[in-house]
Structure 1
């Protein structure tokens, strides 16, 4: 190899190292996903295609839009813009961008007052979001709220953090399942409700402040149960685990009284059902029915008998579509003979959809 060719090869490696830090630690360079995402660097997978196209990638959000949301938009504008981005299928990208901006370590860091507005807005809207994570190895969608809140809280002045969180826990526009996410996060930071020890470097609030949030959370949960609001939306019972860590006897009583009618039973089955992906020969979307968790509310066989009749009625069609799918997944899981199998309780999304359509068609034929 000639000296000129060798020099060119080294120069090419150096350029690649600048553009794509992951290709090698050339000159001590590193890959900072958040910083690169904000700056739309070619090294970020989400931004790569825009360098070879006349258009932005499908889930891209223009920098001008993000800067308006982060730094300028009034709360009403923020709600409208976030709603629009959500409807356009860009909620995951938006949350990544917000986290990235909050982590940006320069003079343009998110001001404390803007972080406060963003946190409140996200918490109020969170229960209306639903998103499918496309990659097999990905983080739970709920964690994305915590990633944003945790990083935004770091730029909120210490003396303002607890009053902000207190107002959020008292805010009737923030649903108890969202509060449960936040509270569990803060509990974990202090080594509570977890097997891990406290993380003193990541504690957003003091232990005394955390203990002051707990009765607010408990009160909001009781109100949601007593008013029936917890059963009105999909995932509305997703505060029960966190509540049980504070008052096990209360949750035991709630579970005993919550399945008196079939609509409530369907919602409980939905609470006991999770979604994910399973790799067998192919990667498929599945739902997993946790029969052990369901047995804490009702005898599983009794639940099966009641629901098997319930899905033949018009009342079943009044449930949200996702709750219908969870109920059908339960029936299929109960009817299968996979006890003790690694796939016990797992039902493929495609099979659920086919069975649901059969049930819907049968009900509609009865009404003709």
Structure 2
């Protein structure tokens, strides 16, 4: 698409609004006017209504008569067309002198030199006029007032000893003899200062009211009337009625024609593929209840589409098309509202907000509503656009709304909807930040990257604390536009890349569980598995469970996730969208039990920072295996510490410090008593075994000892141990040992 530079058109051939009939009516008026008196036509239109384009088409039609012939000799013209731009000059006096200079120059261009005498007389008229301009065009001089007439009549040129009026009379006589129609177009009068506007009218009415000369003055009537009011003591309309003999208002643009132009511009920006992603009903609502209320002229369309194109080039596939169109409307036509939107992000966007924010939403919504009411240029349009972009506030604004295909989180994420907190900023900074997630990144992970690059990318997002969102975005993409684009081989690579590297990705099992990354990761894996045929899906998961390199805690989570499908009676099982059959899940359970026993009996748990959290599921699956493993753990120093870890819970709070650890005695039921555990931990310290433990295990010991020392005052509900207390306790243990 090319940027539309808002230039007026030059020919009817490119007139998108089909104004031929209107243009032809004015052309006929100019051609058929046989009166030899000066005529002034007013062409009225608001800013952007196409006044200059209409003038250009009128001129095209007028000059085409000469090109076609009609009995005129070479160099002869039926109508001489002249353009004069008053806004090019600096002041009223300069404007008047330059008008006559320009008129001379244009008439001299005639090849037959038929205007030679007229040009000479215009030169005399201009030179004689200059000293009198201050009298005729002073700020208080009226039209044809006694002062003005006297100035023209009595002023005498010192060079030729003739009055200004005498010179004008001679010029008028020559024009009558010539009988040449001249049309002078003066455009953009509404751009002038108040004094320059009045000067232009005086020029047309008083100094240059020549026979066979027609003026076409183009301007916004209300703007010019107000300007003349300020100079002529609130007599602007009366003043203009004396000047304009034929007032012509440009007809309003038909909505269907403007819609056609708008559609063409948008199709030049967005591809057919882009439009296929758009919710038609939502787009129709945005256009009908929002866009159409702002688009009044071609200039509006061009100005808007230019900015829309620039933003689309910056964001391409990273935004929802309807959201981009809507937010750009606010940017162009409701800038005061647009600049305020980031301040109200918490009430506009859909996300899991803290309760304290939700409780005050009504106050901020009312404040936002007042902002819209007080600053909008089109209240109805602004409200409707906001309601469609941000459905959660439409009740408060009492406006139109339309959600994206039901508004599910997956759909919103796939479309990069502005109403999601994660996506909001990109619609205002018009770029994707380093922490943000682009469509390009999603594509590379799902389609291009090998395992090493997949894991490296996941690690990078984990380091930036943005892994959770990346996993959610990947899941939405897999369920959406990538659902039929991933081959079975690609799906298997993605599943293995995630499951085989969870221990590297998350590092700390507590972090993994506390951030709900376990649930989010399993949801992603589930979305991938569902794209495979049943036999390939089963072969993949069976191989993973039989592979001794996969962490036992990962298998525990996967198994527990799918065991939920077989809970309840057979009738309920049949209703569920089960990814595995009951028999297949039972086979996974058997494999898991064997792996648990192997994991403990071969002492693989010794250096495992994830601990033995898997035994809670083992207790449900096989009592014999559970008892065997518990007995093994209780018989070893390292096993005792791993049992202790089962009772330590991490809690994130809104206060400082925002993270504490708690000991939960209930977690040790049927495993070991607190008294026996305390005795074993004391023995471990006495044997100087604490130094052999990793940091996480040492912290568990410190938390437990602190609990035992403060057991009477400990409140599981309100108390906890922070990092400072843990370190202090470890120093005490170290000091007591050295002592």
Band of TM-score, shorter chain: 0.7 to 0.9
Distance 1:49 1:27, change over 3 A: closer
Residues 79-130 of structure 1 deviation map (CA, whole Å, 9 limit, x = unaligned): 3332333344332222222212122157665444333222222111123314
**Secondary structure, aligned partner of 2:650:** strand
Equivalent in the alignment of 1:271: 646
The match for 2:620 is: 245
Aligned to 2:419: 43
Question: What is the distance in 2 between the residues matched to 1:6 and 1:50?
Answer: 23
1:215 alignment partner in structure 2: 590
CA contact (8 A) 2:637 2:684 kept: yes
Supply the distance in 1 between the matched residues of 2:508 and 2:477 (Cα, whole angstroms). Answer: 21
Distance 1:219 1:183, change over 3 A: same
Q: Secondary structure at the match of 1:24?
A: helix
1:224 equivalent in structure 2:
599
> What's the offset of the Cα at 1:313?
6.8
**3-state SS of paired residue (2:720):** strand
Match of 1:358 in 2: 731
CA root-mean-square deviation = 3.5
CA separation of 1:24 and 1:150: change in aligned 2, threshold 3 A:
farther
Give the 3-state SS of the residue equivalent to 2:671 in structure 1: coil
Mapping of residues 160-199 of structure 1, within 5 Å: 160-191=536-567, 198=573
Q: Contact 1:311 / 1:359 at 8 angstroms: preserved in 2? A: no
Q: Which segment drifts farther, 288-297 or 250-259?
A: 288-297
Q: Is the 8 A contact 1:49 1:57 kept in 2?
A: no
In the alignment, the residues of structure 2 paired with residue 236 and residue 199 of structure 1 have an alpha-carbon distance, to the nearest angstrom, of 36
CA distance change for structure 1 residues 353 and 106 in 2, over 3 Å: closer, same or farther?
Answer: same
2:692 alignment partner in structure 1: 318
Aligned residues: 356
2-side partners of 1:113 and 1:360: how far apart? 54
In structure 2, relative to structure 1, the CA distance for the partners of 1:118 and 1:340 (3 Å cut) is same
Which of 331, 335, 346 lines up with 2:709 in the alignment? 335
Counterpart for residue 386 of structure 2: 16
Secondary structure, counterpart of 2:662 in structure 1: strand
Which one is further off, 312-321 or 233-242?
312-321
Q: Which has the larger radius of gyration?
A: 2
Aligned to 2:232: none
2:722 counterpart (349, 353, 357): 349
Cα distance between partner residues in 2 of 1:66 and 1:72: 10
Taking a change above 3 Å as real, the CA distance of residues 333 and 343 of structure 1, as seen in their structure-2 partners, is: farther
The answer as to whether partners of 1:59 and 1:93 remain within 8 angstroms in 2 is: no
Q: Deviations along 1:10-42, whole A, 9 cap, x unmatched?
A: 211221123223323744415333333344332
Q: Which runs of 5+ in 1 are unaligned?
A: none
Cα distance, 1:68 vs. partner?
0.6
Preserved contact between residue 510 and residue 650 of structure 2 (Cα < 8 Å): no
SS in structure 2 of the partner of residue 286 of structure 1: strand
| CA deviation string 1:340-365 (max 9, x = no partner) | 95528x523345444355347638x9
Change (3 A) 1:110 1:19: farther
Q: Does 1:256 align with 2:631?
A: yes
State how far apart, in whole Å, the 1-side matches of 2:616 and 2:524 are.
23
Residue 529 of structure 2 is matched in structure 1 by: 153
2:577 corresponding residue in structure 1: 202
Determine the C-alpha separation between the residues in 2 that align with 1:235 and 1:50.
38
Q: Does the 8 A contact of 2:702 with 2:730 survive in 1? A: no
Name the CA distance, whole Å, in 2 between partners of 1:284 and 1:320.
23
8 Å contact from structure 1 (residues 231, 237) kept in 2: no
In structure 1, what is the Cα distance between the partners aligned to 2:431 and 2:593?
49
Gaps of 5+ in 2: 1-374
Structure 2 length as normaliser, TM-score?
0.44
**SS of residue in 2 equivalent to 1:235:** coil
